[in-house]
Amino acid sequence: MLAATVRVTRDLDLAEECVQDAYARALTAWPVGGVPARPGAWLTTVARRRALDLLRRDAVLRRSLPLLVEDDDQAGPDAIDEIPDDRLRLICTCCHPALAPEAQIALTLRMLCGLSTAEVARAFLVSETTMAARITRAKKKIAAARIPYRVPSAAELPERVEAILAVVHLVFTTGHTAPRGGDLVRRDLVERSLDLARMLRSMLPGNADVAGLLALILLTDARRATRTADDGSLLRLAEQDRGAWDRAAIGEGVALVREALRPRPPGRYALQAAIAAVHAEAPSWDATDWGEIVALYDLLAQIWPSPVVALNRAVAVGFARGAAAGLAELDRLAAEPQLAGYGYLPAARGEFLQRLGRDVDARLAYEEALLLTENAVERQFLLGRLESLRH
């Protein structure tokens, strides 16, 4: 609805006002006249009409204000239903590479997921004033630099979709393991990322990267309920109750992975989703096909060489070929500057050292990992590992 209204106003703030206004009118109109057959269409029409009124009334004033650029043909004012293109335009504007990454995420959550500024601020653990300033700054840049409100050309689209997927993926990872705070998972963010991925899937049904990201979110999130015990403590993959994994999400995810893996070479989200699918389909931890997982990480490292991928690959090697082999792989990454502040590296070292019976070294590794995370659930887990070394 917001997306359709922006197309009339070409101004994000004005569109938001008109949408709020439409809801306010619904509150008075619906109890009297009954809820219309298509409430969404009713609200969109009211919001767009209100926008047109305001634009006509303020035609002179508005001409002097910076407007969002929209260069292609406008649907007539009779077009009641929000066409999917409107939301694609809106997300392309919100995730424009000319905006700062944190502004892209904030705008996307605000404009596409309908979160309030206060909610977006809470999600990123900054004050509401800071977040309001960030959003205002981004809106000003959109207007001043004339960031267009349109679906990019076919030539630009792949690069732009990549930027959008990066935003959605970051919303998901921020929610999946909250960097700070008392809960491991921020459900709200995970669900918003799933909504966005589904929305993109409906807008770009043939895009393998979109299918890959949706699959990755579904397959990873299928384990959500089992990632912590009743007391809130962290459960590793090996300890999770596989019977409680969300089978519907896994089924949907696996089907999407098959589709996403078709291009050669497959994209990064498709490969990450394929790894998640191997775990999802393994009947037990011991029956996991670690050789397959190492092979998928090898492919991933080729198209997406990053220290974190190398770290995950090293851990998989440890399970495929034994703790000593895994430890050797991890130690090769010890000098990687990008991993210097990354707690998973010492945590994984501690795990393999403990398996090898090197308790003194394992203790040092867990203690190092403890210094690097502020997530209460992760800290509790590491303290538990230290405790297990005492026996």
Binding site for another protein (CB under 8 A): 63-64, 69, 71, 96, 98, 144-148, 152, 156
Minimum CB distance to another protein smaller for 10 or for 385: 10
**Nearest distance from residue 64's CB to another protein, in Å?**
5
Which one, 146 or 247, has the nearer CB to another protein?
146
Pick the closer one to another protein by CB: 151 or 185. Answer: 151
**Closest distance to another protein from the beta carbon of 149 (Å):** 9
Residues in the chain, total: 391
Q: In angstroms, how far is the first alpha carbon of the chain from the final one?
A: 60
At 375, which helix (H) or strand (E)?
strand 374-375
Taking the least distance from each CB to another protein, the nearer of 50 and 96 is 96
DSSP, residue by residue, 241-274 = -GGGS-HHHHHHHHHHHHHHT-SSSPPHHHHHHH
How far apart are alpha carbons 36 and 10 in whole angstroms? 27
CA 221 vs. chain centroid, Å, equals 11
The smaller minimum CB distance to another protein, of residues 99 and 300, is found at 99
In angstroms, give the least distance from the CB of 148 to another protein: 4
Alpha helices in 80-127 (DSSP H): 84-94, 101-111, 117-123
Which residue, 28 or 153, is less far from another protein as judged by CB? Answer: 153
Q: Where are the beta strands (DSSP E) in 92-241?
A: 180-181
Q: How far apart are CA 69 and CA 85, in angstroms?
A: 15
Residue 278 CB, nearest distance to another protein (Å)? 40
From CA 185, how far away is CA 310, in angstroms rounded? 24
> Between 28 and 64, whose beta carbon lies closer to another protein?
64
User: Smallest gap, in angstroms, from Cβ of residue 244 to another protein?
Assistant: 47
* Between 71 and 230, CB nearer to another protein: 71
| CA 99/CA 12 separation, integer angstroms | 15
We find the least distance from the C-beta atom of residue 349 to another protein, in angstroms, to be: 38
Shortest Å, Cβ 17 to another protein: 23
**How far apart are alpha carbons 25 and 30 in whole angstroms?**
8
- The Cα-based distances of 103 to 13, 136, 140 in angstroms read 16, 9, 11
In angstroms, give the least distance from the CB of 197 to another protein.
25
DSSP letter, residue 83: P
Query: Tokens standing for 178?
Result: 């909250």
